[in-house]
Amino acid sequence: MTSAVETFRFLEHGSPADPVVVLRSRFWNFNAIGFFDGDEACVVDPGIYPDEIEALRRAVCERAGRLPRRVTHVAVTHSHHDHIRGWMRFPGARIVFPRAGVEKSEAARTRILATKRKIDEQLGVEDEGFRYPEADIVFDERCTFTIGDLTAEMRFLPGHSNCTSVVWIPALRTLCTADYLVSPGLAYCRWEARAFESALATMRGWCESEGVTRILPAHNDPIEGADAVLAAIDLEARTFAFLRDRVRAEITGGRSREGVVREAAAAVARQRGSSGGRRARQDTDNARRILAEEWPEPVSP
C-alpha cells in the first residue's frame, strides 16, 4: 500500500455548530479526529505525521481573538501503530486508553513499537523518544469524560483487535469507530472473527438505541445519516456472514485448508465485484480467521 498523496486536508474544519475536526492524513487515508467545546478540546488517535498532528492541534485549539483552547484528553482507541503515534504530543492532556491496551505484554509492545519504527523509516519520520502509550485514565468497559459542556464516552469493543474501543459523543450523535467500518463490506478484522461479528452486532444496537447519525472511521470516508450508518453495519455483517457460509461450504466440500481459504475469499470478491490487491489480501486474511474457528487446527501435545 503506497501513500503518494502530497498533503493532508481537512474533511471537517470544526465550527461552533459542529465542533468536530477531521484531518485526512496523507498516509493510509487515516482520519485524525478532534472535537472541542468552550475552552477545552479532545483528540482521538491523533496521527500520523508530526506536521499533521500539529495541524490537528491548531485546528481544535486556535480561535480568533481569544486564548487557545487546551487539549485536556487524548483518546487512544487501541494499540495499533497508526493509532498511538500522537499520544505524546499534547503535554498536560490526560491519556485515555482501554485496560486491554495498557496490559499488553512486553512482547506485544515490542512488536508494536518495531512496526511503528519500520513505518517511520518509510515515512521519513524521526520519532526518537517515542514510547508505548502511558494511560492516565484506564477503563474496562466504559469511561466518561467532559470537554467543556460536551460529554464523551469511550466504550470497549474488542473484535478488530483484542483492545479496540470506540468514542461516542452523544450531543453530536457521532461515533468514532476506530478501525470498524473503514470500508463497509470489507471487514478489517485483525483478531477473532466471532468477536468481530459480535462487535458489529453490539455497535448496531448502540447506533439504534442512541440515534447515531454520523460515523467517523479511522480510515476513509465518514458515514452520514442514521439510515446510512445502519446500512453500512448491515453490509459489513452480511458480507462477513457470507464469507463464513462459504468457508463452511468449502470445508464440507472436502478441500484442503488452503483451498478453503482461497475459494471462500474468491467467492466473496466475486459477490462484491472486486478483484486483486489489498482487498483480496484482507478477504484472504478474514477467511483464515474464520477457518480457525470452523476447522480448528489440532493442538500438538
Name the residues that contact Zn ion, by CB under 5 A. 80, 179
Helix, strand, coil tally for the chain in percent (to 5): 40, 20, 35
**Closer to Zn ion by Cβ: residue 155 or 246:** 155
Q: How far is the CB of 195 from Zn ion (least distance, A)?
A: 14
Cα separation, 223 vs 208, in Å, equals 15
Q: How far is the CB of 289 from Zn ion (least distance, A)?
A: 14
Q: Calculate the alpha carbon distances from 270 to 146, 235, 265, 279, 291 in Å.
A: 46, 15, 9, 12, 19
**Closer to Zn ion by Cβ: residue 3 or 7:** 3
Q: How far is the CB of 79 from Zn ion (least distance, A)?
A: 8
Q: How far is the CB of 243 from Zn ion (least distance, A)?
A: 19
- Give the containing element (helix H, strand E) for 288: helix 277-294
60 Cβ contact partners less than 8 Å away, ≥ 6 residues apart: 14, 21, 34, 35, 36, 41, 42, 43, 69, 71
Q: Calculate the alpha carbon distances from 46 to 57, 86, 300 in Å.
A: 9, 5, 43
**Closer to Zn ion by Cβ: residue 69 or 78:** 78
What order do you get walking across the sheet with 137-139 strand by strand?
9-13, 20-24, 31-37, 40-44, 70-75, 94-98, 137-139
**Closer to Zn ion by Cβ: residue 69 or 83:** 83
Q: Calculate the alpha carbon distances from 26 to 4, 73, 124, 219, 223 in Å.
A: 7, 24, 13, 11, 20
| Cis before 169 (ω within 30) | no
**Closer to Zn ion by Cβ: residue 80 or 85:** 80
**Closer to Zn ion by Cβ: residue 191 or 242:** 191
Give the number of other Cβ atoms within 10 Å of residue 278's Cβ: 11
Q: How far is the CB of 218 from Zn ion (least distance, A)?
A: 7
Q: How far is the CB of 97 from Zn ion (least distance, A)?
A: 14
Q: How far is the CB of 282 from Zn ion (least distance, A)?
A: 12
Q: How far is the CB of 190 from Zn ion (least distance, A)?
A: 6
**Closer to Zn ion by Cβ: residue 61 or 112:** 112
Q: Which residue has the cell 467532559?
A: 146
Cα separation, 294 vs 301, in Å, equals 21
**Closer to Zn ion by Cβ: residue 80 or 214:** 80
CB 223 within 8 A of CB 229: yes
Give the number of other Cβ atoms within 10 Å of residue 113's Cβ: 15
Residue nearest Zn ion, CB atom distance? 80
